[in-house]
């Protein structure tokens, strides 16, 4: 954030079926990612590949996710890399998930479900040098089905935030996922947790408003939010100029965000 004056995270949701037609053959997803990264690295504060798009392609997809992570670590080691995997299971299983994300892939952070509780997530939380980004108020339309349920006078998502703030964040490595599509809730959570960083998906293709997001989510230092856009950036063009188009859209988002900081 300091180096690039950016709160933009580019989501590397590199759906194989949406890659430009001229990118064919082996390692097409990696070659796509590499071009996007090279074109945008000076405009971002993080990259966030969604594991599902790579898992869908089987062994080749996982290999290209690893290649993408290795390329970032080797070429742009100061840029954080977030694995959007939304993992949650019992503790012994989470040891495997944590080892895959952090030790095999070399990710700096991972998204997590809170539903199984702190005890189950300790294999992640105990990694003091890694980020644990916990789902709190998600950006999807059906988010309120459970997240808005009342527990006493509080909503469930608010209880999640308070528990993470007061109990889970002993190592100072927790963050929250809070969707840009719910700026009122984002503002509420910022007041509740003034200093924690939020990962904020939902701008771009999902329709989140940039001004409302920035004004609701910034901390006192005019930072504290990682605003993620995926499809709106990486698929801005389906032609041979896809990387240039991605840079243009990243710069456009960066400029708009900073206008409201």
- Name the residue with tokens 């071009």: 35
Residue 94: burial class (beta carbons within 10 Å; 0-12, 13-18, 19+) = buried
Handedness of CA 15, 53, 23, 45 (dihedral sign): positive
Q: From residue 80, how far is each of 8, 77, 110, 129, 252 by CA, in Å? A: 12, 8, 11, 12, 21
List, as one string, the DSSP characters of 80-117: -BEEEEEE---HHHHHHHHIIIIIIS--SEEEE--TT-
Measured CA distances, 188 to 144, 155, 161, 220 (Å):
15, 11, 11, 15
Of 3, 34, 48, 86, which is the active-site residue?
86
Q: Residue 224: left if φ>0, alpha if ψ -120 to 50, beta else—which one?
A: left
How far apart CA 121 and CA 99 sit, in angstroms, is: 13
| Cβ-contact 170, 160 below 8 angstroms | no
What are the residue ranges of helices labelled H in 43-180? 51-55, 58-75, 91-98, 118-125, 144-147, 156-163
252 belongs to the catalytic site: no
Q: Which positions are annotated as active-site residues?
A: 86
């Amino acid at each position: 954030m300091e180096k690039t004056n950016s709160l933009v995270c580019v989501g590397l949701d590199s759906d194989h079926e949406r890659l430009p037609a001229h990118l064919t053959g082996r390692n097409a997803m990696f070659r796509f990612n590499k071009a996007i990264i090279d074109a945008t690295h000076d405009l971002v504060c993080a990259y966030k590949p969604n594991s599902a798009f790579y898992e869908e392609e089987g062994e080749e997809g996982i290999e290209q996710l690893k290649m993408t992570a290795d390329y970032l670590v080797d070429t742009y080691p100061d840029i954080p890399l977030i694995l959007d995997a939304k993992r949650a299971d019992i503790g012994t299983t989470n040891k495997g998930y944590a080892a895959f994300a952090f030790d095999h892939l070399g990710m700096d952070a991972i998204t997590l479900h809170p539903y199984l509780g702190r005890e189950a997530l300790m294999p992640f939380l105990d990694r003091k040098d890694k980020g644990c980004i916990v789902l709190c108020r998600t950006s999807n339309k059906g988010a309120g089905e459970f997240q808005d349920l009342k527990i006493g006078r509080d909503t469930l998502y608010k209880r999640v935030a308070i528990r993470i703030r007061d109990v889970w964040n002993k190592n100072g490595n927790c963050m929250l996922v809070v969707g840009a599509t719910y700026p009122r809730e984002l503002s509420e959570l910022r007041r509740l947790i003034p200093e924690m960083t939020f990962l904020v998906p939902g701008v771009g293709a999902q329709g989140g408003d940039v001004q409302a997001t920035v004004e609701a989510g910034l901390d006192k230092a005019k930072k504290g939010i990682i605003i993620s856009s995926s499809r709106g950036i990486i698929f801005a063009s389906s032609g041979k100029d896809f990387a240039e188009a991605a840079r243009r859209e990243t710069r456009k988002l960066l400029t708009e965000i900073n206008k409201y900081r």
